[in-house]
Amino acid sequence: NYNTVLANDPTQFSHNYYNSMQLWGGLNIAKRWQLLYIVPFHLNKQIDDDGITNQNGLGDASVMANYLLFHKTKTYEHKAGIEQQLWVGGGVKLPTGKMNLNLKDPNITVADVNSQLGTGSIDFIMNTMYNIRIGNWGINTSLMYKINTAKNGYTFGNKFTGSTIGYYNIAMKQINIMPNAGMM
């Protein structure tokens, strides 16, 4: 959440809540290539001196392709094997979320811009992922850098994201399910 109050006029305030859920998925295309996607859904609420505004809906989706730089597997007799992978790649963030602002309006605030479901711009992503798994337990560490482009003369700042996630692999016939927890 994000809260503001004007120092010289406390009747001018804003309490902003930004929440998102994301659907992540991937598909191995060939032995060394994978396609990943992220589809966010935003739940934004702004309470201010003018009332309450809610903006909920689909955000900007991302599509990335990754290349497997190395994949090492070591098995031990009577013990769980160790597997390591290093992926590098890139992709695009598409303007699938709504952007309902005139960004050239001088009365637009940061809160107004941040509460939008999308940015209206096509942005570029570079990423790397390292995965280590011992038996069915694993840790995945990801780094992503997004280069934002301008839309109507407005550019969001570029964004660096890092995450580490611990998971457990449940292998089924054609898919793997991996419950996980981590930090971003």
Query: What's residue 111's pLDDT?
Result: 66
Nearest Cα residue to 124 out of 143, 154, 148, 144? 148
Structure tokens at 54: 């809610």
Query: What's residue 103's pLDDT?
Result: 73
Query: What's residue 156's pLDDT?
Result: 86
**Ranges of the chain with pLDDT below 70:** 111
- The verdict on pTM exceeding 0.75 is yes
Query: What's residue 105's pLDDT?
Result: 78
175-183's contacts with Cβ under 8 Å and 24+ in sequence apart are: 178/138, 180/140, 182/140
Q: Hunting for tokens 């107004």 — which residue is that?
A: 112
CA pair distance 29, 4, nearest whole angstrom: 47
